[in-house]
Amino acid sequence: MTEQEQHKQYELDCRYLRMARIWAENSYCRRRQVGALIVKDKMIISDGYNGTPSGFENVCEDANGLTKPYVLHAEANAITKIARSGNNSDGATLYVTASPCIECAKLIIQAGIKRVVYGEAYRLADGLELLQRAGIETLLLEIPTDGVPSVLSQP
């Protein structure tokens, strides 16, 4: 990839990650709002945010403030939307506001996603380690509130 192509990809990564951050605002979860976009051939083919399954009340936390066990992660919502649409995510890039957990990493691998760009590290790194073991490119791209992004790691 030429320097110009790398710069263009970087700008696209920043835009899609900012869009995922905005999409996270749709979540009813109070503890943490996470958004995800799946992009293939420069087209958004799916989106998701963390929340309860369709038909459930939009309450993610129990009376003690703990996340209910049936709350879906943003990545899982985006991947299952693709499955229902008849589209596929082979070779796509996932943009997600927080790095994937181990369960979402398994879904990402099985969905054929080849690249994951995330905005902040999840408290556990096992999801990222599994993605890297599967040969999926991961990129931590922090976009501060001032809008000036920086690449923190590209294992």
Please confirm, yes or no, whether 103 is among the known catalytic residues.
no
Q: Positive or negative, the Cα torsion across 48, 145, 123, 27?
A: negative
Distance CA 68, CA 62 (A): 6
Radius of gyration of the chain, Cα coordinates, nearest whole angstrom: 15
Amino acid at 54: S
Catalytically annotated residue among 3, 57, 75, 137: 75
Whether residue 29 contacts residue 60, with contact meaning beta carbons closer than 8 Å, is answered with yes
Distance CA 50, CA 74 (A): 4
Whether residue 155 contacts residue 138, with contact meaning beta carbons closer than 8 Å, is answered with yes
Distance CA 25, CA 10 (A): 23
Q: What is the bridge-based pairing of β-strands 93-96 and 35-40? A: antiparallel
The number of residues in the chain equals 155
Residues catalogued as catalytic: 75
